[in-house]
Amino acid sequence: MPSVRITGSSELLGVRCGVTDSDSPGRRQSRSRRRRRARLRRILLASLVAGSLLLGVAGWVGFRGWQARSHLTNAAGLAGELSRQLVGGDTERAQRTLSALQEQSGAARRATGDPGWWLGRQVPYAGSNFSAVRQISIAIDDLARATFPALLRVDLGGLVPREGRLDVAALRTVSAELVEVDATVQRTRAKLAEIPDDRLVGPIRQALVELRGEIDRLAALSSAADRASRLLPALLGVDGPRQYLLVSQNSAELRATGGMIGAYAVIEANRGRMKMGAQGGSGSLGRFTDPLKVPREVRALWGDLPGMYPADVNLTPHFPTAASLFRQMYRQRGGEAVDGVLAVDPVALSYLLRVTGAVRLADGVTIDADNAVKTLLHDTYQRLEPKEQDAFFAAAAAKVFNTLFERNTSPNGLLSAFDRSVQERRILFWSARPEEQRMFGDSRMAGTLPEEDSVPTVGVFLNDGSGAKLGYYLRQSADLAVGACQADGRRELSLRVTIRSTAPSSGLSKSVLGLGRAGDPYTIRTLVSVYGPAGGAVLNTRLEGAETAVATGTERRRQVATVNVEVGPGGSRTLEVSLLTGKTGSGSAELWLTPTATPWTTQVVTAPSCSQ
């Protein structure tokens, strides 16, 4: 039997298995460990290189972010300073401020425009914050290089009457320049509106919200100035004579748009020249036993009162309704069919007097910016009989506007006074010509209660229920908080309104105390109407923490709840209201308030959007 060589077989097996005689188990383990260590070294080296690169990029982006923040902060301060200088007419300083602003805004734009920042924008989640800061930088730089230089070039004197006349040719030049300004502002506003804010960190989201608010205000101003410059020639009689009713809203007896309409005067405009015509008081128009036609929803809320009494046409906050009714009443009592109605209040007159200077009335009384409100809303009722009061108000308003037309006043200061009055809804205008009224849209000056909301808006409107002139003694505050998101896309809102009386407990004249419908003549009765957001709802109301009687209705797609609030001398009452918005993703909200003799104290607490 042939012999078998085991060794050869072993070698054969070894070759097949890849193992030699020298490969002991220990050696194999050692080689495996060396291979693992080599791979680990390669991984560590790659990680170190990648980490170094990431740290470098992060450090660079962080450094550039710090630079951008510094430049943006400086730019924001300079923009505010520039705005004040433009309003004050200090063009020389404004030009220097503009140069500094452009330097800071340009630096912020460069700091957020390099490759490192671009890489930061690609990072999930964090990238949206880098993108937002970049877009904010671009927006501010665009304003600094396009909008503000154009504003500096505009001769605002073209918008102001000189010696009783407006220079129509200069106005048309201003109009062409304002078209450019408005177009730039609207483009910037649209770009900021497109920035998604659902993933932004708190400070950046807050900065975006604040910038959007400022741009919205600038856009409203530029749009209003653009519209005004195009409308003014026609309104001022370039194409034919015009007549308007100038009405004074008396804040001592509150109405939703500001105050009871007391005195009125006719403004006549012809080829840019303006003058005062007939004057009178709303009391002389009397009571309309056959009431004028009132919109159905307004009638459901207030009965026939707005169509019966000139003093009640503005129980509704929708100024076009009130102005149209007053115009009809004036016409029916023998007046002309005027082309529109312009409403002002004593606070707006005080703003104008700060620009024009004091005026002296025929009876020897001098009114200026500091004493106008007290003189018109307090002293007059203490010293004059009711029949004399309307004549005094009419004379005061006429004197202020005649002074405005005739004196050479600072255009910047005058426009600032008008802007402040319009923002506070103390100057309202309605045109009887539909094509002109449409151009005013939902602007604050039109006093239109909109049927749609871009941001949920809650209205708090006050109407005197005392039949007295105690509104001068009211102090008001309103706090609005945005709450939880609902499954159907709505949001909860919480409103808190406090009304306080500073009225004395004795010593007021019969004219001030009036009818005393609250019982005690020194107790102020105020009908507080809360208008919910468009398409929303008023859920419940509590007065001093307890359920209270509420009158309900609707006006222009808004639910309305009206509560009678009575406050004695030195007292205060608090009304709490829960509301729902229409469908919205917004975490913001706005308040619309009746302009009063003393400004409201307000606070709006926002929340993240429902998509966050």
Q: What is the CA radius of gyration of the chain?
A: 34
Is the same domain home to 249 and 225? no
DSSP letter for each residue of 431-466: ESSHHHHHHHTT-GGGT---SS-SS-EEEEEEEE-S
Is the same domain home to 271 and 419? yes
State the pLDDT at residue 7. 38
Separation of alpha carbons 164 and 335, rounded Å? 24
- The encoded tokens of residue 248 equal 């004074």
Is the same domain home to 249 and 174? no
Closest-CA residue to 602 (of 425, 483, 476, 463): 476
Domain boundary among 394, 411, 438: 438
User: Is position 33 within any domain?
Assistant: no
Cα torsion through 90, 91, 94, 96, rounded to 10: -120
Cβ distance 500 to 475 under 8 Å?
A: yes
DSSP 522: T
User: Is position 278 within any domain?
Assistant: yes
- The encoded tokens of residue 604 equal 């709006």
- Specify the number of domains making up the chain: 3
User: Is position 404 within any domain?
Assistant: yes
| Structure-token match 């001398």, residue found | 569
Is the same domain home to 423 and 563? no
Backbone angles phi, psi at 2, to 5 degrees: -65, 150
Domain boundary among 235, 267, 294: 235
Is the same domain home to 342 and 471? no
Residue 383 belongs to a domain with what CATH number? 3.40.630
Separation of alpha carbons 263 and 250, rounded Å? 9
State the pLDDT at residue 105. 84
Separation of alpha carbons 201 and 148, rounded Å? 30
Backbone angles phi, psi at 219, to 5 degrees: -65, -40
Cβ distance 396 to 361 under 8 Å?
A: yes
State the pLDDT at residue 25. 56
Cβ distance 263 to 282 under 8 Å?
A: yes
User: Is position 39 within any domain?
Assistant: no
Is the same domain home to 429 and 477? no
Q: Which residues contact 507 (CB under 8 A, 6 or more apart)?
A: none
Separation of alpha carbons 486 and 469, rounded Å? 43
Closest-CA residue to 372 (of 516, 302, 472, 299): 472
Is the same domain home to 96 and 120? yes
Is the same domain home to 424 and 459? no
Inter-helix orientation angle 126-142/202-235, to 10°: 30
Is the same domain home to 256 and 111? no
Cα torsion through 437, 443, 448, 454, rounded to 10: 130
User: Is position 183 within any domain?
Assistant: yes
Domain boundary among 208, 235, 262: 235
State the pLDDT at residue 186. 83
Closest-CA residue to 326 (of 425, 428, 423): 428
Separation of alpha carbons 405 and 93, rounded Å? 29
Is the same domain home to 305 and 421? yes
Alpha carbon of 4 to those of 7, 10, 13, 17, 241: distances in Å?
A: 9, 11, 14, 21, 133
User: Is position 72 within any domain?
Assistant: yes
Apex CA 181: angle with CA 176 and CA 182, to 5°?
Answer: 95
pTM for this prediction: 0.77
Residue 60 sits in which domain range? Answer: 48-235
The residue ranges of the chain whose pLDDT is under 70 are 1-69, 72, 76, 80, 83-84, 86-89, 116, 120, 123-127, 155-164, 197-208, 210-211, 214, 217, 220-221, 224-225, 228, 412, 612
State the pLDDT at residue 156. 64
User: Is position 581 within any domain?
Assistant: yes
Q: Is the dihedral of CA 541, 544, 548, 550 positive or negative?
A: negative
User: Is position 30 within any domain?
Assistant: no
| Structure-token match 């009887």, residue found | 432
Is the same domain home to 85 and 231? yes
Residue 483, classed as helix, strand or coil, is strand
Please name every residue paired with 572 in a beta bridge, in sequence order, or none if there are none.
500
| Structure-token match 């608010």, residue found | 213
Separation of alpha carbons 571 and 610, rounded Å? 39
Q: Cβ atoms within 10 A of the Cβ of 38, count?
A: 10
Is the same domain home to 387 and 532? no
Per residue in 116-128, pLDDT (tens digit) is 677 767 766 666 7
Separation of alpha carbons 456 and 579, rounded Å? 11
Cβ distance 366 to 360 under 8 Å?
A: yes
